[in-house]
Structure 1
Amino acid sequence: MNITTPNPSSKSKKSLFRTIVTNLTFWVLIAIILGVLLGHFSPENGVKMEFLGKKFIQLISLFIGPIIFLTIVLGISGMGNLKKVGRIGVKALTYFEVVSTVALAIGVTVAYIFKPGKIDKSGLTFGDASQYTNGAAKDFSWLQFFLSNFTLQVLLAAIICGIALNFYQKREQTILVLERFSKVVFFGLKYVMYLAPIGAFGGMAYTIGKFGLATLIPLGKLMLCVYLTMALFVFLVLGSILRYYKISILSILKYIKEELLLVLGTSSSEAALPSIMVKLERMGCSKSVVGLVIPTGYSFNLDGTSIYLSMSVLFIAQLYDVHLTFFEIMTVIGILMITSKGAAGVTGSGFIVLASTLTALHKIPVEGLAFLLGVDKFMSEARAITNLIGNTVATIIISKTERDFTELNLDPVSE
């Protein structure tokens, strides 16, 4: 009688294959590749896929409000120490301003040294920048920023409710109900995330189909500078901050790889907001810190956007051979320190912020925004990814400074 001996290597191969095909990251990556191929070889059909990306982001957006509200309310009411809430808020805002200012300075420095605007302008075609700026460069309005920023509105309402709940007689029963509802919301989100590959496919197919790969050639220098600058910021600036706390930036990037790929496909950091909050808690950050820092960071800690905006201002100045003095460059940084905070919640945000900045300078033609239309969509992925990484690092740092961080857990099995 022949006895067949099991082949260990065969089992391991099957196990590896099963692990790969059941991994959401694998399918998101495949979807991105298929989206690029469709958009490149069949642009018309690629453009038609836009609705898939938009619908997925809209679906995810339904969870953002409830998750932010429940996380913050439960976090504040669970602290029992309102002084701690205020302390975390002050620390977070201080950190945001310092780091985003560094990002602005790096963007200006790289653009000034490498001069991406000094390129051959022949063959460039202009789009209609008015579709992004509503036909005019409006001054930045904090009132408009607040009224149009849903995340900030929910954040404020949740803080008020969380504080009020500390004084409510039936506080424990209310918290119990909110915790149960929170579990239901996150359970629903878990299944919605299985649609991530569809959203990534639609977003990438539309991007390539609409703008094409050829449109990147004239503005390739600007794109290269933006991507390299953001990589420099992530690995040197954010990496150094994490290294001080003996944490590797590479290990963090590996831990949030699914969220990074999702942002890459959808060009929206909001698509990853709910899941990044869950992962940060599993990593070891306290629920209260995650609930306060992440939503606030989505409005006030936009490192990638800050780099892009500062480089774009100098890029347009270089295109028109406008010389900026040192004082004027410092003015650009100062203006963007304020206006960049409104870049997350306003329709056509990037162009409106750029238009308001150029208008404030009274020196650089606002019409130069048209040069950015061809590549803005492609650079939006880099902005969103850098914003996501920046807020992830910020949450870890604030948790560390609060000594409210359990043992670092980056084990993917626990997810």
Structure 2
Amino acid sequence: MIAHSVEAPARQVRKPFYRHLYAQVLAAIVLGALLGHVWPAGGEALKPLGDGFIKLVKMIIAPVIFLTVVGGIAGMRELGSVGRVALKAFGYFLVFSTLALIVGLVVANVVQPGAGMNVDPATLDAKAVAGYAHDAHETSVTGFLMAIIPTTMVSALTEGSILQTLFVAILFGISLSLVGRPAEPVLELVERLGLVVFKLTGILMKAAPIGAFGAIAFTIGKYGVGSLINLGALVATFYLTSLLFVLIVLGAVARAHGFSILKLLGYLKAELLLVLGTSSSEAALPNLIAKLEAAGCDRGVVGLVVPTGYSFNLDGTNIYMTLAALFIAQATGVHLSLGDQLLLMAVAMLSSKGAAGVTGAGFVTLAATLSIVPSVPVAGMALILGVDRFMSECRSLTNFIGNAVAAIVVARWEGKLDRAALDRALSQRPLVEENLEAAVEPQIIA
């Protein structure tokens, strides 16, 4: 049987800082931002670099999820533990998704970033957001649930849907577990394929600086730093709120479960910079799974919690929805009573699930929410369209951190967290980033 070794060699030669992925991505972000600012046309022209890298990563997401989940479930032995992990994960998602909505609501009422703008909704360009509103109407909770079921087992891996892949992987893993001993050769094949796919992931990650460079150059070149000034209060409020949510709310959760949120952020710094540069949390999904396993989280728990969380545990998106909705209401002079705001929050909770997996999901979800709450004009979304790209980076970062914390917490609840490995990883002794490649080298266990 094949296992993943997490033991590091006795002696390690430290890499120069410029050879670390986080340093390369950080340099790429700075250079891309400078290029986009100095030469906007050139920055816009680099969009294919960012899009191409994200496509490369999305190409391997389905195999990574499938192999990780199948191997994890089949290795759990007890099928009851699969349902227990899923139940605990969804309970966690429900609590913290709701809390994120409440935080956005409270901050919007206290800070009131849209107050005093006195915008006449009739003067807004409704056509600018018509496409997003159309996408919002096309999505529904029922449609979302039906979309989880793929046309065929193979199409789940070829169409790029995270939830379809997860659905098929869970069924396949359960079937392997039920078959038992005769299925062991298949399980060994799955584990060997996992080694190959994670090696491929490492190869593709070498292109991360190029992708981050192109993506940030396009963002600054097309929208310009100046667009931040016009709606600076909203953008600053959103970033500060998300930061406080991570440090205070998720920080308290982390402390209660025996680890430091700051050390976790340090451990995931390369992935966080990648998310920042590409505005996509999916870009760092394969690396997040590998790093959580290397940090002592059970493979099956990580395989279930992280992919599911990418659709159901969207803390950053939820903060954005209530904050942006109240900003539009304040800017257009619409008064929302407490009842209206509670209705808005309830609708946002449902619509965030219905729009999961849709391109530009944060903006589409906001459109879906406002279309159901008639007191806030959907056309008001035109006010924030210019800065939504900048806020999408913060949404992605907060979503990413929230799912990393969720995986560790659920693993601990299940008693499937290696505390020594977690402490070693978060304290960078040994430097897990340097040894991550060695951690997935195959070892044959007699």
The TM-score, its normalising length taken from structure 2, stands at: 0.86
State the match for 1:278 in structure 2.
Answer: 290
Q: Distance in 1 between matches of 2:243 and 2:87?
A: 28
Q: How does 1:32-181 map to 2 (within 5 A)?
A: 32-120=29-117, 128-134=128-134, 137=137, 140-144=140-144, 147=147, 150-168=161-179, 170-181=182-193
Contact 2:279 2:393 in 1 (8 A): yes
Contact 1:46 1:208 in 2 (8 A): yes
Q: Distance in 2 between matches of 1:116 and 1:329?
A: 16
Structure 2 SS opposite 1:167: helix
Q: Distance in 2 between matches of 1:146 and 1:37?
A: 45
Identical amino acids, percent of aligned pairs: 46
| 1:110 partner letter | V
| 1:155 partner letter | L
Q: Distance in 1 between matches of 2:118 and 2:218?
A: 26
| 1:50 partner letter | K
Structure 2 SS opposite 1:363: coil
State the match for 2:280 in structure 1.
Answer: 268
Q: Which runs of 5+ in 1 are unaligned?
A: 1-14
| 2:79 partner letter | L
Deviations 1:229-276 (A, max 9, x none): 001100000000011122111100000000000000000000000000
Structure 1 SS opposite 2:178: coil
| 1:252 partner letter | L
State the match for 2:443 in structure 1.
Answer: none
Answer yes or no: is 1:402 the counterpart of 2:414.
Answer: yes
| 1:233 partner letter | F
Deviations 1:294-335 (A, max 9, x none): 000001000000000111110111111111111111111111
| 1:198 partner letter | I
Deviations 1:270-293 (A, max 9, x none): 000000000000111010100000
Residue 135 to residue 243, structure 1, CA distance change in 2 (3 Å): closer
| 2:382 partner letter | A
Residue 328 to residue 139, structure 1, CA distance change in 2 (3 Å): farther
Q: Distance in 1 between matches of 2:409 and 2:210?
A: 34
Contact 1:45 1:209 in 2 (8 A): yes
Contact 1:104 1:307 in 2 (8 A): yes
Q: How does 1:361-380 map to 2 (within 5 A)?
A: 361-380=373-392
Structure 1 SS opposite 2:207: helix
State the match for 1:9 in structure 2.
Answer: none
| 1:103 partner letter | A
Q: Which runs of 5+ in 2 are unaligned?
A: 1-12, 149-159, 437-446
Contact 2:352 2:365 in 1 (8 A): yes
Contact 2:139 2:354 in 1 (8 A): no
| 2:164 partner letter | Q
The TM-score, its normalising length taken from structure 1, stands at: 0.92
Contact 2:132 2:367 in 1 (8 A): no
Answer yes or no: is 1:246 the counterpart of 2:258.
Answer: yes
Matched positions, count: 400
Answer yes or no: is 1:310 the counterpart of 2:322.
Answer: yes
Q: Distance in 1 between matches of 2:234 and 2:378?
A: 18
State the match for 2:234 in structure 1.
Answer: 222
Q: Distance in 1 between matches of 2:135 and 2:306?
A: 33
Query: 1:377 deviation in Å?
Result: 0.1
State the match for 1:12 in structure 2.
Answer: none
Q: Distance in 1 between matches of 2:228 and 2:124?
A: 12
Q: Give every structure 1 segment of 4 or more consecutive aligned residues whose post-TM-superposition deviation is greater than 3 Å.
A: 119-122, 124-127, 134-139
| 1:214 partner letter | G
Contact 2:50 2:211 in 1 (8 A): yes
Q: Distance in 2 between matches of 1:390 and 1:52?
A: 28
Say which of 8, 16, 21 aligns to 1:19.
16
Query: 1:125 deviation in Å?
Result: 8.3
Answer yes or no: is 1:331 the counterpart of 2:332.
Answer: no
Residue 365 to residue 206, structure 1, CA distance change in 2 (3 Å): same
Q: Distance in 2 between matches of 1:347 and 1:321?
A: 30
Query: 1:129 deviation in Å?
Result: 1.2
Contact 1:34 1:201 in 2 (8 A): yes
The CA RMSD over aligned residues, in Å, is 2.0
Q: Distance in 1 between matches of 2:376 and 2:137?
A: 12
Structure 1 SS opposite 2:300: helix
Q: How does 1:193-212 map to 2 (within 5 A)?
A: 193-212=205-224
Which has the larger displacement, 177-186 or 148-157? Answer: 148-157
Residue 183 to residue 357, structure 1, CA distance change in 2 (3 Å): same
Q: Distance in 2 between matches of 1:302 and 1:135?
A: 19
Contact 2:133 2:368 in 1 (8 A): no
Residue 23 to residue 139, structure 1, CA distance change in 2 (3 Å): closer
Residue 22 to residue 328, structure 1, CA distance change in 2 (3 Å): same
Which has the larger displacement, 299-308 or 144-153? Answer: 144-153
| 2:128 partner letter | D
